[in-house]
Amino acid sequence: MTQPYVIDEMISAKAIAARIEALAQEIEATFAGTDKLVVVGLLRGSFVFIADLVRELGLPVEVDFLEASSYGSGMESSREVRILKDLRGGIEGRDVLVVEDIVDTGYTLSHVLKLLTARKPAHLRTIALLDKPSRREVPIRADWIGFEIPDEFVVGYGIDFAQANRNLPYIGKVRFTDAGA
């Protein structure tokens, strides 16, 4: 059974929307002239972010998904990355943007980039909604970052805790409470 908790808002829906709009402009400038940008969402946490991001992009896009897991239903990374769902299409010679919800230890993003680099895309760039540099164990950083956050366990805007709270329109910090409080 999950310990009781409350969620304190960290990043508002309005702040997220404004940041995505700014990030989309930077991405458009980087990929100007592309015939089609393959936007690869890392499931499951990125699904809300990727939906909002592609709607802001003024580029021709194709969306694909890859599901990688290093967490299961826990709060700590296992550091063992498993690919649960691979891309449906090929990316060789194509412009690719990998969309991640949060870069924590760096194991997942590092593993995914090695996998995708081997498939020889023309360009491979990354964007993460959230970055926790204080937790990094693998030297990696996304090309674009929405927000840098402290070492807090967060939920909302597609990010879950044991499959709950993905539907929150904001990013919230999970704070555990005493059962008797």
Residues with catalytic function: 104
Question: Tokens 């400038």, residue?
Answer: 29
Give the separation between CA 7 and CA 154, rounded to whole angstroms: 8
Give the separation between CA 78 and CA 101, rounded to whole angstroms: 17
Give the separation between CA 125 and CA 111, rounded to whole angstroms: 14
Residue 175 contacts residue 7 (beta carbons within 8 Å): yes
